[in-house]
Structure 1
């Protein structure tokens, strides 16, 4: 019997990277998974899970649209009898456009997906979990949300918002036995970062990837997924309102080359 035998689980951003890895890990431990993503790549995730003997349903949706999130939660309840775990992982990078070069359209979209998306997950998942006597909600934040130097301005601000959101939500859900936590990944090879990894390999400088953290390497999606499984499990029954950093030690320093105002980096 796996840790999640018979549990009803939703994972967003499950078409690739961290979401795909985590959905597979949940299913491998007996979870009944709804794998959701904006792209049809989520079908490949579910195919891999079912081929391995797991149970999963693929859904294409937008994590930043309220009706889509409502429908996702309703599907979990109708198919699996309720909802126990929601991993709000979907996110976008928004590129690395500087603060003064970016516009409101970019910021609006990044905040819609990265911050409003987790808010909607908590808003609609928590009441269903209360009906089950409790549950666990995990949101993907980032080391970029801890301090500057690890992401673009819009992305960093959105992930800082996620960290505060889980703290606020944990307090708002006092006495409900619904726990809300965040994971702050460092540099992980995912669909979002793939171009940087491919470029480094093309140039023959792959060994430089992740060199700023003490482990001197990038992480893999499964290393984040295993933390998500812990936070979702009864083993983490006293962990609530926290932001768990999984970054190889990067945020112990956040070294960065600073750019002077008004000057373009070489």
Structure 2
């Protein structure tokens, strides 16, 4: 019960990692503002309440400043403050290469994936500082660490999130606010579900995530547990870091892999 009586905002809480995290925060005593552009956020709040937890849903565009300030205001009004901000909302932007991506798409991916977390820091941090501290977790990606895990627009946006976490941690020195980035690998969410569904239908689910040493994709709950760690007092001395939870994908440059018990060809 690491979050008893703590006020928490989770963006992208309508599905995937966001929903899993919102449910997990509430299970550990947190009072959750579940924010998402989709109406599915209402179901997330209902699931929390049905389990005896406290939740308030709010429909927001995570890349819109007025909407982010509304979410922060709701947390303060309904739950008396703000202790944790999990800025998780994001979009994929497809898989077009640099030359086939138009500026409208690139700009939209940056608006949601990078400006959104910046707005979360900008408006959550002053509230946290005034009450003595807090924790901010930003969802980045292994695609932000190096190429090969996402489109140019998505990868650039997530690299920006990682740098935002380090910069914010520095600029919040003395405020007792920790800022860290979570870097998921391939995870079964609404964004990636078509890939997983196609693999299931084709009988090739065992090939999903095969490039990482664990040889599988992740489930949202596995990433949610990492987010909760970063937001909790268990990570009280972790600040300004980018933590990869990717089955080991980012641990190596491309190599001829060593299979357990034999050499891969």
Taking structure 1 as the reference length, the TM-score comes to 0.95
Cα drift, residue 255 of structure 1: 4.3
Over 3 Å counting, the alpha-carbon distance change for 1:254 and 1:221 in structure 2 is farther
The Cα offsets for residues 19-66 of structure 1, whole Å up to 9 and x where unpaired, read as: 000000000000000000000001111111111111101111100000
RMSD: 0.9
Partner of 1:26: 25
Cα drift, residue 253 of structure 1: 2.5
Distance 1:177 1:103 in 2: 41
- Point out where structure 1 has 5 or more consecutive residues left out of the alignment: 257-266
Partner of 1:227: 226
Partner of 1:262: none
Distance 1:201 1:30 in 2: 36
Equivalent residues in 2 for 1:218-257, closer than 5 Å: 218-253=217-252, 255=254
The answer on 1:16 being equivalent to 2:20 is no
Equivalent residues in 2 for 1:119-130, closer than 5 Å: 119-130=118-129
Partner of 1:141: 140
Secondary structure of 2:32's aligned partner: strand
Partner of 2:103: 104
Taking structure 2 as the reference length, the TM-score comes to 0.95
Cα drift, residue 131 of structure 1: 1.1
Partner of 1:52: 51
Distance 2:145 2:170 in 1: 20
Larger mean CA deviation between 247-256 and 204-213 belongs to: 247-256
The answer on 1:117 being equivalent to 2:107 is no
Larger mean CA deviation between 4-13 and 203-212 belongs to: 203-212
The Cα offsets for residues 64-119 of structure 1, whole Å up to 9 and x where unpaired, read as: 00000011101100111110000000000000001101010011000000000000
Cα drift, residue 204 of structure 1: 1.2
Distance 2:87 2:228 in 1: 13
Distance 2:250 2:132 in 1: 36
Spell out structure 1 runs of 4+ moving beyond 2 A: 253-256
Cα drift, residue 246 of structure 1: 0.1
- Point out where structure 2 has 5 or more consecutive residues left out of the alignment: 256-265
Partner of 2:90: 91
